Amino acid sequence: MVRLSWLRAVPAEAILTESSDTLQNRYPGWGSPPIQPLRLRHGHPLAPPPLTMAGRASLNAKNLEALGPARLAALLLQHTEGNTAARRALRLALAEQQGPHEMAQEVRKRLAAVERSSSWLDQKRRDALLADLDRQRQAIAGPIAAHDPDLALELLWRFLDLAKSLGDRCNCFDDAELPLFHQASADLGLVACRAKGSTAALAEQVAAALLENDIGQYDHLIEHLKEALKAEGLGQLRQLMEAQRPPNGAEEETEEDGDGYIYAPIFNSDYEPDSDDESEFEDDYDDDDDYDDDYDLDPDPNDLDQTVRLAMLAIADALGDAEAYLAEYRDHQPAALKQPLVAARVAQRLTAAGRAAEALALLDAAQPLPQQTPPGPGPWIDARIAALAQLDRGDEAQQLRWKFALLRLSSQHLRDYLKRLPAFEDGEAQERALDLVLQHPYLGPALEFLHQWPDRRRCASLILARPAELDRADEKLLAAVAEALEADHPLAATLCLRALIESILEQARSNRYRHGVRHLASCRRMAGAIATWGTIPDHNNYINELLYAYGHRVGFMNQLDPDNLLLSESPGDQPQRD
């Protein structure tokens, strides 16, 4: 600042009238470079704070709290205007602040409104209603139950009663709705353990509910309430349900063959069709976990005898009473014990109770029919293996594991077999088993087994040996296998993608055309890594064949990029063919 003192001596009129040279001669320092400001390093005591740009405030709880209660309340009211669900959530939160009884009153009003309503629910409205009901359930099982379990118990029973009216308002009462009510049933079991009511009254409520299980909301009620009922309440429930059994043990007519086997058309993968079409039977292998489906356990609200039987079986399980479980079939439906799946369920409980010899005799009396998929339904095999193991007949159990693993392509049974072998024998047995999987008559199940094991080399070998059968494999499986094989086995991966492309085009699935285009681009990318095509058409030849066969699929053709369709082949880079 001192060096600039000369500037104050220059009159303003001189600056305006005198030339620059005159000013420089008269006033030394005129025209000299301006003095640069002193720059201090960051952190120096005299350095000014660094300049920062104003950032966008993050939307988080801490920043919102800074707005203050009044501002937040105004924003909530403004943005929930016309949003009925949000307004209900706000009212529920306000009721919680006033106490559990006020909150319960708010929940009770909402449940009553839902029960009175009869309007039809499309999927969007149904989903919104389910979300709202789940909030009500959480309020009951949470704050209300914490302060007043008896009040929460009453509201949960009322909540479960809504299932019937909700089912009447939907096109179908399916997996989207039932989990909500099954969760409420589980909440009921937890709350009932803390409530003060008597077990006798609770047993009467459970019996009444089981008789009104129209939708299936009470399917797991006994299982959820067994701790609250205890042995005394379960005994009372058994008496109440026995009193409801139809007279003379009336049973539905069942079709029975000469061997006393009850025909059960819902045995799914355990039943082999009479058709000679291999593709129908191959579908049976798609879901290994579904082979234990059993029509005998599907509740039928119109069959009182079945309702009582299922309740008695659930009570026996809750008490751990294997004899009662056996007696329910032996005394009231003895023909059912000839069914492999029913016999398997009973045998499992007898074995767990230390009665393996009886379990094995029961299974022997319920041998699967010859036309069933050998060596029998999965649960029947598992029950037999467990009984044999308890009787120290390990060699027979191992033979069953091996047979079932290879015929039904069960990886779990093969792993169980291998881990019971002596040391250093499991590796050789595994290789032998996986080689046998390659010979399985149905490619889809064999491919899925090898993919999940996993064995990438054998997956590729199976595909290259039987490419014509890929069109019958599951699309999701083919996509997963192609992704897994792309790096090390590009030719096998290409065949999987080609099968997917041809399936899309053959069925004219226009909504999948973009996936077909993507698969084709992947084939082009992998073609450069394939040295030998053998008898399989190379990429360019395949493209020509594809365009010739499906050129009329205009929607697909319009999505192709002609410049990135074929591989450019130089004379020295031609793919080798056997």
Are 475 and 316 spatial neighbours (Cβ–Cβ below 8 Å)? no
Residue 242, pLDDT > 90, answer yes
* Residue 271, pLDDT score: 28
**Tokens describing residue 331:** 């005394």
Please give the backbone phi and psi of residue 227, each rounded to the nearest 5 degrees, phi first: -70, -35
- Say how far apart CA 86 and CA 135 lie, in whole Å: 11
* Residue 467, pLDDT score: 94
Residue 102, pLDDT > 60, answer yes
**Tokens describing residue 75:** 């924003």
- Say how far apart CA 375 and CA 125 lie, in whole Å: 48
Residue 13, pLDDT > 70, answer no
Distances (CA, A) of 296 to 238, 333, 343, 345, 413: 20, 11, 12, 11, 26
**515 pLDDT band (50/70/90 cuts)?**
very high
Average pLDDT over every residue of 437-452:
95
Span 248-290, pLDDT tens digits: 644 444 433 333 332 232 223 332 333 334 443 344 444 444 4
* Residue 272, pLDDT score: 31
**167 pLDDT band (50/70/90 cuts)?**
confident
